[in-house]
Structures are given as C-alpha cells and as structure tokens.
Amino acid sequence: MLHRHVLARAAIVSIAVAGFAAALAGHAQRPVQTAPWTPPRTPWGEPDLQGIWNYATMTPLERPRDLAGKRVLNDEETAAYERETDARQRATNNTAGPDWWDPGTRRLVDGRTSLIVDPEDGRLPATTDDARQRAAARAEARPRGGLPDGPEDLGLNVRCLQWATAGPPLLPGVYNNNVQFVQTRDYIAIVSEMIHDARIVPMDGRPHGAIRRWMGDSRGHWEGRTLVVDTINFSDKTEFRGASDHLHLVERFTRVDADTIGYRFTAEDPTTWTREWTAEFPLKRTDQGMFEYACHEGNARSVEGILKGAAVQRVP
C-alpha cells in the first residue's frame, strides 16, 4: 500500500512539472506585448513638443541632377556619397572649419537624395517669368566686380541679421542645427540656435497682422497631434530661394516617437514658382544644450574690414 502511494505521488509531481514546463514553453513562444507609445501632453492637454531638437543632415534640399530618378541610395552608395561630399566640403566650405560642423551633417537621412518630396523629382518647380525678371534685376544691381559699396550690398547673414537655416522654414546647415520649443497656453516659441532667432507663434486664433517681417508673420493651431504654423507677410529682403513677399509657408510638426518630430513644410508663391512644393525631414531629440551664437547684429568689425578691403581693391 505504501509503495502504491509513493508511486501515485511521484506521478502527480511528474504531471505537474510537465504542465509547468509546457506553460513556460508556450509563454516563450508568444510575442512580447509592448505598450504603445503615448505622446506626452502639456498640463493643459496639448501635444508636448518642448525640448531641444537637432535637424542636421547631409541630404540636400534638391536632388542632384546626376541622381535623377534615384530617391534613395543603398548602403554602399550612401557611404560613397557621404565620403565624396565630406571631402568636397572640407576643400571648399569657408564657413568656419570641419571641427565646427555638426556631426549629423556628415550623413544622409535614410539614404535620401533630397529633402524635397513633392515634386517627385526632388527638384524645385520651374520659376515664373516674374521671378526671372527679379533675379536679373538683382544681378544688375550688384556692385561691379562683386566689391560692395556699402553694408547693404552684403548678405543678411554676413551682417548677422538673419540666416536661412534658422527659418522659417528650418533648413539644415553645416552647424547650429538646433531648435527649441517652449510652450504656453497661448503661444509657442520656436527658438533657433543659429543667430539666436526666436519666433513667437500665437496659438489663440487671432488673425494675421499686416506688418512685413524678415521671418514673416506666423499663426499656429493644432490638427490632432500636429502643430501647424502658417506664415505670410515676409519681407522682400528675405528672398527665400528667390521668393517674393508673396511667399506663403505652412509648416507641420508631428511628434512621431519619444525622440523624433516629423517636420514638413510647403512653400507657395505664384509670383516665383509654377506650383507649390514640399520638403520633409526629422528633428531628433538631443540632450545637449543650446549655446549662444555670438554674431553681433550688424557684424560691425567684420563689415568694416570687408568694406575697407573693397575700397583698397578699387584703387588703380
């Protein structure tokens, strides 16, 4: 009788162990369920974009003509393109030096050959007759021989007034590709590290103003998780890609995941391009701080040297 009880208990233990092992095996075969990412929100319930984000990339705005029809490069082609572009920029770029450049500008974004996604050829649309006439007039007005007569003959960036990379729209450059968002209930500040420009975007539904500005007149609203910033009333001194003061810009910022904001902008100016066009690229979260871009407004000492040098070269 005792022998039978021992055997029975041994059988029960064996069955229990086998069942536990089977349960473990079944659990191991089931895919791990991860909770979906929930976008953060501000205390008042709006999507939270706050923080510092980097938008550096080597991908050019327009697709190079020798890559026509090739939207994305494979790994080998990407590595070759990055090497060749880096070597060329080191030899020709006179804006500071490679040790100043953002590491992100040494890479293509996802192997893409252009930031422009529409038109599909990755190129700016054809320009209008009006735009070509404006370009010819600007060329005719330039100082003879390229030597400036006064500060107005120098670019806005040379005078430390505005850099195209700071936006709007944001466009990657060789350095200072950082932007910070600061949100309140009624405003969003878009602060660029480049030349420490800041856009204060009203979010309270007010209409656009009538004053023309170098960075335009921006108004924002939410479409679901996307911040939409609509900007008009640009100054004709800005000349974004040859555009006039009729430029209309719509930017979209969408929090994709914890470390990425998808950025997309559409530019329209019927006096400059035959159709609107769109570009997009990611903004990546960075833990690095923002640093002062110490370019004094007017860049007085440098501009003084440039003008003196131009005057000397004019002396027969």
* pLDDT of amino acid 129: 96
**How many Cα neighbours within 13 Å face the side chain of 15?**
6
Q: Is residue 19 predicted with pLDDT exceeding 80?
A: no
Residues 6+ positions from 310 with CB-CB distance below 8 Å: 147, 148, 149
| pLDDT, tens digit (0-9, with 9 covering 90-100), for 114-138 | 999 999 999 999 999 999 999 898 8
Name which of 139-148, 151-160, 245-254 the model is least confident about.
139-148
Residue 47: CB atoms within 10 A of its CB come to 19
Which residue has better confidence, 203 or 148? 203
| Omega of the bond leading into 168 within 30 degrees of 0 (cis) | yes
Q: Is residue 76 predicted with pLDDT exceeding 90?
A: yes
The answer to whether 58 and 85 are in contact (CB under 8 A) is yes
| Domain ranges (residues) in the chain | 57-120, 124-314
- Whole-structure pTM value: 0.84
Measured CA to CA, the distance from residue 114 to residue 72 in angstroms comes to 9
Q: Is residue 15 predicted with pLDDT exceeding 70?
A: no
Q: Is residue 3 predicted with pLDDT exceeding 60?
A: no
Q: Is residue 183 predicted with pLDDT exceeding 60?
A: yes
Give me the mean pLDDT over the 93-104 stretch.
77
Q: Is residue 146 predicted with pLDDT exceeding 80?
A: no
Grouping H, G, I as helix, E, B as strand and the rest as coil, residue 228 is strand
